[in-house]
Structure 1
Amino acid sequence: MFRKYPSKLTTRTAIWRIVPALLLFLCLAAAPSLRAYASSAAPAASASSHIDAVLLIDVSNSMKNSDKNKIANEAMKMFIDMLSTKGDKVGIVAYTDKIQREKALLQINSAQDKEDLKNFIDGLDRGPYTDIAVGMDEAVKVLQSGSDPAHEPIIVMLADGNNDFNDASGRKQSESDAELKTAVETAKQNGYPIYTIGLNADGKLNKQSLADLSSQTGGKAFSTDSADDLPQILSEIFASHLKLKVVPVQSITANGSYQEVTVNVPNASVLEANISIMSSQPVTAKLTDPSGKEVAIPSNDVLLSKSSSYSLLKLLKPSQGDWKLQIKGVAKDKIDINLVFNYDMELKIDALPSATYKKGDKVEVSSHLFSGGAQVTLSNLYEDMKAVLLATDVDTGTVQEIEMDNTGGVFKADFEIKDSHDYELKVRAEESSFYRESEPVQISAKSGSTGGTTAGGTTTGNSGAEEEKSSGLLYYIIGGIVLLAAAGVALGLWLKKAGQGFAGQIVVEVVDGNTGEKTYPQYKKLTGFKGKFTLHQLLQLAPELKESEKLVFTPASNDRLHLRAGEGITVEKSGRAADVSRGLELKSGDRVSVALQMVDKTILLEYLV
């Protein structure tokens, strides 16, 4: 999904937006401070540790074959059990070729809330026919109407991926496809990743259709014909969505006696430890904390959830150290164990001394972890993690990865600015059970910046002289522009087209049609182009993407962008093919996808001003 960052108000854009000479003068005089303000704008809030989930399930009669043992019901109940004891929201949509039953987003505040949701699942009935588009459209609407902006939204879909229309309804596959495409596009625009679990007991799973839904929205696709796979699948979904890692725990073959498994809680910042135990036969469990004291199951600090196919232990704020889990099962029964921790943890880059620098400056970057809004000071937590500073050259798209020092309760690294470009800085820290990424910070080393800083934040030499030179240049530009204005509006408009160039930036992602893999977003500044440029130029002339030369961008009025494509290039906007042979105009926030035929790749573009 594309992310938006505040754009900079360039001097050139400001000049041509305002025709009267007096306003032109004021705008130009204010431009340096406006640039500084835009560069130092506060980053967006970090991701929440709470989830708003819609569980979407196909309950048509065809599922009697593809899901004979009602694995989907067990999957949904286990997902609910893995959620936090308080704060998450869950909605349920059961569909055939219509909405069979629906439960709006319910905030979980107690164990009874989870039981109510699981009872709702047990009460679902089957019905004839199937139309995936109907279910997906409703799932998206449930999130739109009840999702908390501070939570992480997600759709988990359980289906066989096949449609079965009622002939009497007159519904056509093309109509369903169009409705589904619109729903998926809406999910994508709102940041709703779709995770799919394909159920394949009868071998008729339409794996590709479910994989497409996931790949288009940043989710993941799984498939299974056995409840044995559920712990791993659900752990992967849960972990992927909250930037956690599934911690491997040994599987055992029961021998009729208690067998011991070690569960290591790595630090004191773990909110919850979810231990799932999957077995085809009943099991009994005992638990000992790191001090050697036996802990009752269930108890105030250990919750137990059971169903016909799994048991889930949830340790609340567990002590750091080795917990001993003893499992007794029926002899020769295979018992699978999975572990996922839940953290209330954010990673933030400390405020930089400046947003503007110059070539050769060294920028000291430090970053801290935060839990419950408070800075984490435990040095051992930092030392147990590996952190890297990702410095992206916005002008070229190249990313430099710098290993950070993790001693002293802080992550630190120095970044040397090698070119007079714009840069984006981001920190990623990870350990065995979770990872976190900071919100990116934008800095600029473009010529004409209002001075740079050294690693310690001291202003670099000649900054006063450079500022004076910049000021002189500014008044020189003002004088020239005023003379042009006096020459007439027509001349001004001509100069706007010839010299203004482009405003804003384009966010670029490349999707591989064979693997479904998507590159990280790259932010391409357009201010360096004049008159026109091709998509191939924007992509740094990558040889395998040569056919992208056929798509040409030119500036349009009101900071809009005009694109035109030659034969063989397919451009989609809002999920529909656009006629770009006659040109397509983009305003800030518009997104398009460009399908390349020769390399089976799709270029995702978002225009931001």
Structure 2
Amino acid sequence: MLHKNKIALCLLLVCLLILPVISPGVSAAAAQPSSHIDAVLVLDASNSMKASDPKRISSEAMKMFIDMLQARGDKVGIVSYTDKIQREKALLTIQSNSDKNDLKQFIDQIDRGAYTDISVGLKEAVKVLKQGAEPGHEPMIVVLADGNNELDPKSGRTAAESNQELSQSVQEAKAGGIPIYTIGLNADGKLNKDALSKLSDQTGGKSFSTSSADELPQILSEIFASHQKLKIVPISSITANGSYQEVTVNVPNANVLEANISLMSGKPVDVKLTDPSGKNVPVPSANVQRSTSKTYSLIKLLKPEQGDWKLQVKGVSKDKIDINLIFNYDLELAMEPLKSTAVKKGDTVDINAYLVSNGQKLQNNGLYNDMSAKLLVKDLDTGEPKEVELANKGDHFEGSYKVEEKHQYELKVRAEDKSFYRESKPVTISAKAAGAGSGGAPAADKEDKKPFHVWPVVISIVVLAALAAAAYFVMGAVRKANKGFVGQIVVEIRDENTGEKTYPQYKKLTAFKGKFNLHQLLQLAPELKETDKVMFMPGKNDRLVLKNNSACTVEKSGRAVNAAQGAELKSGDRLSISLPQVDKTILIEYLV
């Protein structure tokens, strides 16, 4: 009996050692959207930027970001650094266009310096936010750099000291809920991508890199949209012919606070605007603002009327003009409190969620018309995610989830349409029995209890042995499901009817685990739904495996690829994926 008890004890210890490995920790809850943001823009002002960005497009991109902020209420600070702080502007509350112009003029006056130490700029950015952040606002830091540190040898400062200071600033940002978005300008091919990615990954931000400064305005637009839980809506790409060309801007509902229409062009652009009633609207006017710069024009419609607006665009002949749209909403998604967070296996949990504006349940139900919602379930014991479609009831979303195991679960609702998405605050439920394993019958007569203790021990040995044997395979499966990705995918969408392509978008892959589909990479755009069966999985040696279970055609170098069993991609590989239902082609390039 003693020998058997030792065996049982050993097997139990094995299982206890295994269980923590296969039970990942609870992930941090995503920050909720806010009406306003507090942003600090951090610019590398070293002399090397002259070669990386001779036209100062980085400054233009930062100015465009400022123009996209709300007309009133957002706060912006600016930090310019080399190996010391060159110039700094504390958080300024935007109350008018003149405030935005002050910030943009400040950017134009930034000087250059000989050396670079990113820790200096980031430390100051965190300090600026701590000193001037507004309660209830959503903080963020945007860092634009072009390479590695270059310390002044006369200063005596070491790389170790710089790295330690950088690490401390990142930890402060993380503790303060401040995501850091990084943009690496890789004009000379010497960019330390991993270092910048680490800053973003640790704080919940995103990292971008580009070899061309011309792509910076688009990247800044994507950062703005991502932080505000918005989506960039491509309107059109036109080739100017010297005359006015008309494009339609659809304002989908009356809850749009602002519509930002960006026109990316290095040449002068003239515009005319017509509201949904057919009335000509002066640009600028009381509810229409216009900002112009060397590389872009931005038109901001304040509280625009719902419907189709007509924008007539006149550019220099043969100049390509990319037009995108980002809406600002004052909306959040709330999930009704659950009846109980203590549940049992097999219980059905009823889910109801609704949109909130200004702290009140949304009264304009028209916004729900084109929206879809799903319940995102995460098993906190295994890390396994699951999605449950919710019904759109016209003024709320509802559905249910059946508890599958005696585990803990995190529940949250995600609702979206083509221009924005929102997620509710996560709620944890538990189907674990309280005090499990602490019970036991009262002691009676020892002789009477002996027969009853032998079989539980024998059964326990068999069960635990089976668990120990299965754990090896479970661990392998879990490791595979949680295997991360490296690098990024560059995405372009080509309309086969017109031949026009969207601006390249750089999608960082480090946020995904196990596998993801192309539809996720395309921001779940409804018209591109057929890409949800084009899957990506991590391969060996930093490679990517594409598996195509859809009707889409995959081509590499002009030849069809049979990717049903999986096609391996290495850094630099390019593929085209044709979508037969919408007559579009997705062009992707994998970069590590």
Q: TM-score, normalised by structure 2?
A: 0.68
**Residue of 315, 331, 340 corresponding to 1:345:** 331
Shift of 1:143: 1.5
C-alpha contact (below 8 Å) 1:228/1:278 kept by paired residues: no
Structure 1 residues 165 and 272: alpha-carbon distance in aligned structure 2, compared to 1, 3 A threshold = same
Shift of 1:227: 5.2
| 3-state secondary structure, aligned to 2:273 | strand
Corresponding residue of 2:133: 147
Amino acid at match of 1:307: S
Shift of 1:342: 0.9
* Mean Cα deviation higher: 181-190 or 284-293: 181-190
Matches within 5 A, 1:457-536: 512=484, 514-515=486-487, 517-518=510-511
Shift of 1:129: 1.2
The separation in 2 between residues aligned to 1:188 and 1:513, in whole angstroms, is 22
**Residue of 125, 130, 155 corresponding to 1:169:** 155
C-alpha contact (below 8 Å) 2:52/2:213 kept by paired residues: no
Matches within 5 A, 1:136-535: 136-224=122-210, 226=212, 228-447=214-433, 512=484, 514-515=486-487, 517-518=510-511
The separation in 2 between residues aligned to 1:385 and 1:116, in whole angstroms, is 39
Structure 1 residues 444 and 209: alpha-carbon distance in aligned structure 2, compared to 1, 3 A threshold = closer
The separation in 2 between residues aligned to 1:240 and 1:210, in whole angstroms, is 18
Shift of 1:208: 3.6
The separation in 2 between residues aligned to 1:342 and 1:230, in whole angstroms, is 21
Shift of 1:235: 1.5
Question: CA-to-partner distance for each residue in 1:535-568, whole Å, 9 max, x for gaps?
Answer: xxxxxxxxx9xxxxxxxxxxxxxxxxxxxxxxxx
Structure 1 residues 511 and 96: alpha-carbon distance in aligned structure 2, compared to 1, 3 A threshold = farther
**Residue of 48, 52, 74 corresponding to 1:66:** 52
Q: TM-score, normalised by structure 1?
A: 0.66
Shift of 1:513: 6.7
C-alpha contact (below 8 Å) 1:195/1:237 kept by paired residues: yes
Shift of 1:149: 3.6
The separation in 2 between residues aligned to 1:284 and 1:514, in whole angstroms, is 43
Structure 1 residues 200 and 416: alpha-carbon distance in aligned structure 2, compared to 1, 3 A threshold = closer
Corresponding residue of 1:127: 113
The separation in 2 between residues aligned to 1:128 and 1:510, in whole angstroms, is 43
Question: Structure 2 unaligned runs (5+)?
Answer: 1-28, 443-478, 488-508, 514-538, 540-592
The separation in 2 between residues aligned to 1:94 and 1:382, in whole angstroms, is 43
Structure 1 residues 166 and 391: alpha-carbon distance in aligned structure 2, compared to 1, 3 A threshold = closer
C-alpha contact (below 8 Å) 2:374/2:414 kept by paired residues: yes
Amino acid at match of 1:445: A
Corresponding residue of 1:47: 33
The separation in 2 between residues aligned to 1:440 and 1:201, in whole angstroms, is 41
The separation in 2 between residues aligned to 1:173 and 1:209, in whole angstroms, is 13
C-alpha contact (below 8 Å) 1:235/1:338 kept by paired residues: no
Question: CA-to-partner distance for each residue in 1:163-216, whole Å, 9 max, x for gaps?
Answer: 222121122222222222222222223222221222344454443432332233
What is the identity percentage for the equivalent residue pairs of Structure 1 and Structure 2?
A: 62
Shift of 1:380: 3.4
The separation in 2 between residues aligned to 1:374 and 1:261, in whole angstroms, is 35
Confirm or deny that 1:76 pairs with 2:76. Answer: no
C-alpha contact (below 8 Å) 2:33/2:229 kept by paired residues: no
| 3-state secondary structure, aligned to 2:304 | coil
Amino acid at match of 2:510: E
Question: Structure 1 unaligned runs (5+)?
Answer: 1-42, 450-469, 477-507, 521-543, 545-609
Report the RMSD for the aligned CA atoms in angstroms: 2.8
The separation in 2 between residues aligned to 1:251 and 1:97, in whole angstroms, is 41
Shift of 1:448: 5.1
C-alpha contact (below 8 Å) 2:336/2:353 kept by paired residues: yes
Shift of 1:225: 5.1
Structure 1 residues 279 and 77: alpha-carbon distance in aligned structure 2, compared to 1, 3 A threshold = same
The separation in 1 between residues aligned to 2:235 and 2:376, in whole angstroms, is 32
Question: CA-to-partner distance for each residue in 1:60-82, whole Å, 9 max, x for gaps?
Answer: 21211112111121111111100
Amino acid at match of 1:350: E
